[in-house]
Amino acid sequence: MRAFFQRKRRIVVVLVLLIIGATGIKAYSDKDKYFEIAKNLDIFAAFYRELNTYYVDDLPPEKLMHKGIDAILEETDPYTDFIPEENLDELKFMATGKYGGVGISVITDSVRTVITDIYEGSPMDKAGVKTGDLILSLDGKPTQDMDQDDISHMLKGVPGTTLQMVTKNPSTGVETSKTITREEINVKPVSYSGMVGNDIGYIRMTQFTENSGDAVSDAFTQLKKDHPAIRGVILDLRGNPGGLLDEAVLVANIFVDKNKVIVSTKGKVKNWDRDYKTEGNAIDAKIPLAVLTNRSSASASEIVAGAIQDLDRGVIIGQRSFGKGLVQTTRPLPYNAKLKVTTAKYYTPSGRCIQAIDYSHRNDDGEVESVPDSLRKSFSTADGRKVRDGGGIEPDDAVDPTLLSQVTVTLLRRQYIFDYATQYYYSHPKIAAAGSFSLSEDDFSDFMRYLDGRNYSYKTHTEEAMENLQATARKEKYYDAMSKEFEALQAKMKHDKKQDLLKNKTEIKHLLEEEISNRYYMQKGRIAQSLVTDNEVTEAVKVLHDPQKYQQLLH
């Protein structure tokens, strides 16, 4: 039986090769590679013809092809992908940041579907729907029977089409039927811009889609206009997965003068190799600049951060970036399908490629690994600082990531912080401005009372390690002799949930303040509130206020 399925898998892979090619393909000259391709396509054409004619059961072509394509793609990197016509909207969204829908985010489980975010100015915002509202049905279908993908699919659609929705107010229990007309939703690449303190500008980018460069340029220009005494700017690229390479060059051009190489691409098709240079004058090529990165900053984010670092134009603060140094191009396929294929690697101005995982060399089991430190090479920035390839952008000023406690993670997962924020919103007509809001001691005590009777039990990492140790001890026949010691350790480790709440009060309180601010001031309010306790932002402000330290980091 196993041999049968192995043969079937090989059949599928070969079948796909036929579809990728065209019938009657000839060998190109005498090059071995093209001869092998042509030879195997001919073999495959005959093979599939015989199989399709004589195999006892039907082999559905489309299903078979997709399985085969997936099998072939396993040999490439995760960014090379086949995109059928029905999924082209996802590709469009990645490039433009636009989609047809109603402008909300939801989370669902087997019990309820709740609105977690509403985009400002969206159809749902105009309809008066609130974050925390429950969605009971969509076009007459109960959401309780749907999974997350089904709900997302129904919320999206062609602009101008309508969606019947029944929502429930979580405070009053009142159910409301609404007819929502879908619109084109534009997820803005700049989710927030403002000031941190009196003299440091702050711009947060979420993606590099069409017109991202203009959006950052407009935000920075407005900050300079409204705050003439501005003495530094923070460009926050944390969590930004990237996007369009051209937009990354435009963003860098805001701070880097014209005719500077920002990124170079090199691939198999040499005619496509290119140096991407800044083409216009910078808005401000002198203002002190801090770029924030973390492990989720990737692709175009790393192009910007890498250029700023290699040109010694600003300091990188935070954690090492993701390490994606690969460039994708879309190629047309029959029947409106697309192939998104990695065609090149990109190189920062110093000449380094920051790709962290080597997909061209796999272990015997097919797994890939990160480039080891021993093989990473050193390069020099414009002023001679040493930087390395093969592992993302390393910060000039490293800040440890904020790690939440187990009790806090549990409160978030069970949505108790989210639900309490909803309750707070309906019992408090107004709060202070985002960034100035603070929960009182009485408020936090009320939150603890809210948790009474609710299940937020969890295991600490130490308890999990202890369970593993006990299991090993039983397996190796040591447990009986050590049982009393195990029991004594467990007694010492037993945690009191209320004491854990008090011990981690500060981080829980901050998350509550952010979620509550989101109820009153939407996404911008959440971000403004988060900046108050953001370690990387605090460090960036400190560096930008200290010219000596800023210069030390650059030399």
User: Is 505 labeled as catalytic in the residue annotation?
Assistant: no
Q: Write the CB contacts of 147 (distance below 8 Å, at least 6 apart in sequence).
A: 108
- β-pairing, 261-267 with 274-277? antiparallel
Q: 299 an active-site residue?
A: yes
Q: Taking a C-beta distance cutoff of 8 angstroms, is the pair 266, 344 a contact?
A: yes
Q: Which residues pair with 397 in a beta bridge?
A: 317
The catalytically annotated residue of 264, 299, 321, 350 is 299
Half-sphere exposure of 339 (CA within 13 A, CB side): 14
- With contact defined as beta carbons under 8 Å apart, do 320 and 293 qualify? yes
For tokens 């049968």, name the residue: 4
The first and second tokens of residue 477, run together, are 């026949």
- Listed in sequence order, the residues at least 6 apart from 329 whose beta carbon sits closer than 8 Å to its beta carbon are 340, 341, 343
Instruction: Classify burial at 170, counting beta carbons within 10 Å of its beta carbon; exposed 0-12, middle 13-18, buried 19 or more.
Output: buried
Q: Which residues contact 385 (CB under 8 A, 6 or more apart)?
A: 312, 554, 555
Using the Cα atoms of residue 18, residue 20, residue 26 and residue 29 in order, give the sign of their dihedral. negative
Longest Cα–Cα distance of the chain, Å, equals 82
Q: Which residues are bridge partners to 103 per DSSP?
A: none
Catalytic residue among 81, 133, 236, 310: 310
324 catalytic? Reply is yes
Scanning the structure block, which residue is given the tokens 């409204």? Answer: 226
Residue 238 Ramachandran class (φ > 0 left, ψ -120 to 50 alpha, else beta): beta
DSSP letter for each residue of 83-144: E-GGGHHHHHHHHHSEEEE-SEEEEE-SS-EEEEEE-TTSHHHHTT--TTPEEEEETTEEGG
450 by Cβ neighbours in 10 Å (0-12 / 13-18 / 19+) ranks as middle
Which residue of the set 77, 191, 260, 324 is catalytic? 324
Reported as type and span, the H/E element at residue 503 is: helix 497-503
8 Å CB contact between 182 and 157 = yes
Query: Are 143 and 175 spatial neighbours (Cβ–Cβ below 8 Å)?
Result: no
Residue that has been written with the tokens 């969206």 in this structure: 122
Residue at 86: amino acid letter: E
Give the separation between CA 441 and CA 434, rounded to whole angstroms: 19
Task: Supply the residues annotated as catalytic.
Answer: 299, 310, 324
